Homo-oligomer: A and B are copies of this chain.
Amino acid sequence: MTVELARGDLHASVSDPESAAMNFLNEVAARFPDAISLAAGRPYDGFHTTDDLDRYLHSYLAHLEGLGLTPEQRQRQLLQYGRTNGHLGALIARMLVVDEGIEVPERAVMVTSGCQEALVVALRGLCAGPGDVVLAVEPCYVGLTGAARLLGVEVVPVPESADGLDPETVARVAAAVRAAGRRPRALYVVPSFANPSGTSMPVAARRRLLDVAAEADLLILEDDPYGLFGLDDQPRPTLKALDTGQRVLYLGSFAKSCFPGARVGFLVADQTVVGADGTRSLLAEELSTVKSLLTVNTSPVAQAVIGGILVEAGCSLRAVGKEKTAFYRHNLRTLLAALTTSFAGDPRVRWNAPAGGFFAVLDVPLTADEAMLERSGRDYGVLWTPMSFFYGPGSGERPGGGGRRAIRLSCSALAPERIGEGVRRLAALVRDRGDPR
């Protein structure tokens, strides 16, 4: 007798609907390899090569030598179990000062196995009981909603406007949650060049959001993977840089600024935690227990690779990332220009004009569901992401809402010369399959 398990008997997160949607996307992409993918949001290949890895490792080892570590200590740092919160705290704290004007002590930094683990750690640590919920911008990055499902934490959506999250809406949703006897523990938001919507919050709204968070006794989970990639050099302070009251946990990723294969991200949590005995520590230190129960610590070898990049960059990814920034700017401008070329004058089609990042949203005169995506890949040779993937189950019921007639376009992974052709193929789909003009 061999074991057969019913899928329905496994935990709900195994059948996570957004993960299933992403799997579907990957399958469609695999089935139509010649389609141009305006779906893939991964960074462009080609800013780093495996030849660099040795050098990064050696740069980091030389850095450790400069700090006075003996050969034995250097070996141990890379090859043994290590400190739960990692050994890049000082370099990351320095980077945050140089690149973002964020000043935090190095012990407020936890290095994580990618930013996804930082989400899990933060949600798990903050949401203590069944009444603790997390508010999240909607449409929402699927990593956040998935992490919440994994932990059994309820997500309460806060609908986004064209200018990103509206602080007054946050206040209203938080009050409603409290009125229902639950505790809104934190708010998840991507203030700059959001995934999936591409929106950014104006600086005044950022300041106001911090006030609202203080009034509603909310913490903010600020996810900032795209902050380096603005279309212009205008400074866009992160919430954490504006945060004088320690309302913000800052979630960082090296996947876009360095490369994804290191799987190194980080969490900044400089809030004070007071124990029943009066002992005081920082939230990042307290959360180290959660981190240790997930992955013990982040691969010190992977940390050393990222450490080497930071050391070589003088702790400024903004400085060394100019080539990347220029690439992504060019791609986003190319995408927006191609949309104008293909759709200007068509009142059925509208799109937003993100100020940076990897994504834009197109409202289309057709139901942008999985069947349409499959047809698009097969008959038109172009892939995109249904925006409905980024809405909770309730939201799809709203008339015209829930992203059912909208698609996310990504321009990060493509060579720029492919973008115009991708948009032309999309225009053919809309022409043939859209509602009549």
A residues sitting closer than 8 Å to B (CB atoms) are: 1-16, 19-20, 23, 42-43, 45, 48-50, 53-54, 57, 61, 72, 74-76, 78-82, 113-114, 116-117, 120, 124-128, 143, 146-147, 149-152, 214, 219, 244-247, 255, 259-264, 271-276, 283, 286-287, 289-290, 292-302, 305
Contact = CB atoms under 8 A, between A and B. Distances in A.
7 contacts: A2-B272, A7-B273, A14-B125, A42-B81, A80-B260, A114-B295, A146-B292
A76 B6 contact: no
A250 to B, nearest CB: 14
B276 A7 contact: yes
A260 B151 CA distance: 27
Given A113-B299, A150-B294, A289 B8 contact: no
A23 B271 CA distance: 21
Given A74-B50, A260-B80, A116 B296 contact: yes
Contacts of A124: 11, 13, 150
A312 to B, nearest CB: 16
A293 to B, nearest CB: 4
B4 A272 contact: yes
Contact of A6 (B61, B74, B147, B274): B274
A262 B19 contact: no
Contacts of A289: 13-16, 19-20, 23, 146
Contacts of A152: 152
Given A219-B3, A289-B16, A296 B79 contact: no
A14 to B, nearest CB: 5
A148 to B, nearest CB: 9
A245 B3 contact: yes
A247 B2 CA distance: 8
Contacts of A75: 45, 49-50
A302 B114 CA distance: 13
A376 to B, nearest CB: 23
Contacts of A117: 113, 294-295
Contacts of A54: 54, 57
A359 B294 CA distance: 24
Contacts of A15: 289
B128 A261 contact: no
Closest 8 pairs between A and B when the two form their complex, measured CB to CB: A263-B299, A79-B261, A146-B293, A299-B302, A261-B300, A19-B289, A7-B275, A3-B246
Given A263-B299, A263-B302, 13 more contacts: A3-B247, A5-B271, A5-B272, A5-B283, A8-B275, A10-B128, A11-B125, A11-B290, A19-B293, A45-B72, A79-B261, A81-B260, A113-B113
Contacts of A23: 289
Contact of A143 (B5, B11, B255, B293): B293
